[in-house]
Copies of this chain bind each other. A is one copy, B any other.
Amino acid sequence: MQSFAIKSLGEGKFENPRKHSTVSDDFIPLYVSEEFMKACGHTSENDGDALYFQEAGPREKIFFDPAKTKVGIVTCGGLCPGLNDVIRSIVMELWHGYGVRQIVGIPYGLEGFIPQKYGHALRELTPESVSTIYMLGGTVLGSSRGPQDFSLIADFLHEQGINLLFVLGGDGTMKAAEAISRAVKEKGLVLSVIGVPKTIDNDINFVEQSFGFATAVDEATKAIACAHTEAVGMYNGIGIVKLMGRESGFIAAHAAVSLSLVNFVLIPEAEFTLRGEGGLLPALKERLQKRHHALIVAAEGAGQHLMPETGRKDSSGNVILQDIGQFLQKEIKAYFKEENMPVAVKYIDPSYMVRAVPANADDRVYCGFLGRHAVHAGMSGKTEMVVAKLMGRYVHLPFSLVTRQRRKLDISSHYWFSVLSATGQSGLKGMI
């Protein structure tokens, strides 16, 4: 029996005002598919065994006294639809559900913990101040990239008297949250750190579908529809759309399978070739000869093996990628010039337009539950964990599990076969 234990600051001593519908700390079994486990770099002891997780939800007793608890909320890294919904939900649940009255927003990500350096002012958060923020994309708290000095952060939390910290961010942020938790403990302070995993790329380990992903796919399909329209508008028109996805092709794959107009989906996980048998370019030619228009969707991390490395990193420490969109345009134009076949290449890079929008209805519901469950976990004294939805259930996952690696699209999975079948690109080299 493999179970994922969750750290706790101690026993609950206070009555939970959310007395209805509490859950225990018992573990619930979930039969996670092998396909998913593989994508998460996990192996079950005995094939087909269940994994055991702590269920999310209000506990009978809570660890923190609502009247004395001070809460901080911080958003880190790139924007993602739903951030404001999670913030709103956390504030509403703390205020109306638990009676907590001291809630502060940490401005501009980790920078907000170091006012002596950055000068950003804390913001008081109340039901009124967050009431309509769901209408806005992005995060009303602001964000920033990259790490900060954890010891200074711990000092700040101490000075401010913050007992409970909600951290919205990606795997890098969750590593930082772990480091903050450790730094605080070293100073002998009591702090619960609860994460809500955020990634537009849907690549956080053991998180089946991250919030905002459905919205991003919605937006991505709009760009694809436009590229399709442009492609069919010209004889031998070729539409190319670049979508977010540095290390994983989930948005590209999902959008392509949603709007099945796409002929080629290029993702970082499947290393394609350009020329020769099974190459993209001859396949593209064949497609054009048959239908006189074609549509390519590429995740930004796709095809990096075909280009020299940039050797540069951004402020979050991520390698700066080569531009697959520019590369494809150049290669395609060169190839069809050689082939003496006039084509019209139309390139769309919606970039931030897939992520800087407000969440759709489903993502808003999801974010609402994530926020409420994060509060339940934090108030009950859990720490160094995130809330997540797995196999239809809300559970607690330890930081260590979600930061172990980034999840990838498994190209031997049934999901990917469905993508190949929807696009018809299974003849390409490197796709399986």
Q: Looking at the assembled complex, report how far the CB atom of A228 sits from the nearest CB atom of chain B, in whole angstroms.
A: 8
User: Which chain B residues border A139 with CB–CB below 8 Å?
Assistant: 233
Q: Which of B93, B214, B229, B417 lies in contact with A20, CB distance below 8 A? A: B417
Of chain B, the residue at the smallest CB distance from A424 is B96
The answer to whether B258 touches A365, judged by C-beta atoms less than 8 angstroms apart, is: yes
**Contact digits for A252-290, partner B, Cβ 8 Å, 1 yes 0 no:** 001101111000000000000000000000000000000
The answer to whether A229 touches B79, judged by C-beta atoms less than 8 angstroms apart, is: yes
Q: Which of A342-363 contact B (CB under 8 A)?
A: 346-353, 356-357, 360-362
User: Which chain B residues border A392 with CB–CB below 8 Å?
Assistant: 33, 208, 390-392
Whether A247 sits at the interface, judged by CB under 8 Å, is no
Whether A327 sits at the interface, judged by CB under 8 Å, is no
Q: Which of A106-127 contact B (CB under 8 A)?
A: 108, 111, 118, 120
User: Which chain B residues border A232 with CB–CB below 8 Å?
Assistant: 138, 142
Q: Looking at the assembled complex, report how far the CB atom of A233 sits from the nearest CB atom of chain B, in whole angstroms.
A: 4
User: Which chain B residues border A352 with CB–CB below 8 Å?
Assistant: 226-227, 229-230, 346, 348
Q: Looking at the assembled complex, report how far the CB atom of A88 sits from the nearest CB atom of chain B, in whole angstroms.
A: 8
User: Which chain B residues border A414 with CB–CB below 8 Å?
Assistant: 21, 23, 57
The answer to whether B362 touches A362, judged by C-beta atoms less than 8 angstroms apart, is: yes
Q: Could you list 17 A-B pairs, sorted by A, with CB under 8 Å?
A: A20-B417, A31-B31, A31-B393, A50-B50, A96-B424, A134-B260, A137-B226, A142-B233, A142-B234, A143-B234, A222-B353, A225-B357, A229-B356, A346-B352, A348-B351, A348-B353, A360-B360
Q: Which residues of A are in contact with B by a Cβ distance under 8 Å? A: 18, 20-21, 23, 28-31, 33, 48, 50, 57, 79, 88, 92-93, 96-97, 108, 111, 118, 120, 134-139, 142-144, 208, 214, 217-218, 220-223, 225-227, 229-230, 232-235, 254-255, 257-260, 346-353, 356-357, 360-362, 364-365, 368-369, 372, 390-393, 412-414, 417-418, 421-422, 424, 432
- Excluding A20-B432, A93-B421, A120-B235, 16 further A-B contacts by CB distance (< 8 Å) are A21-B413, A33-B393, A118-B235, A134-B260, A136-B229, A208-B392, A218-B360, A220-B361, A230-B352, A233-B356, A254-B365, A257-B368, A258-B362, A349-B349, A368-B422, A391-B393
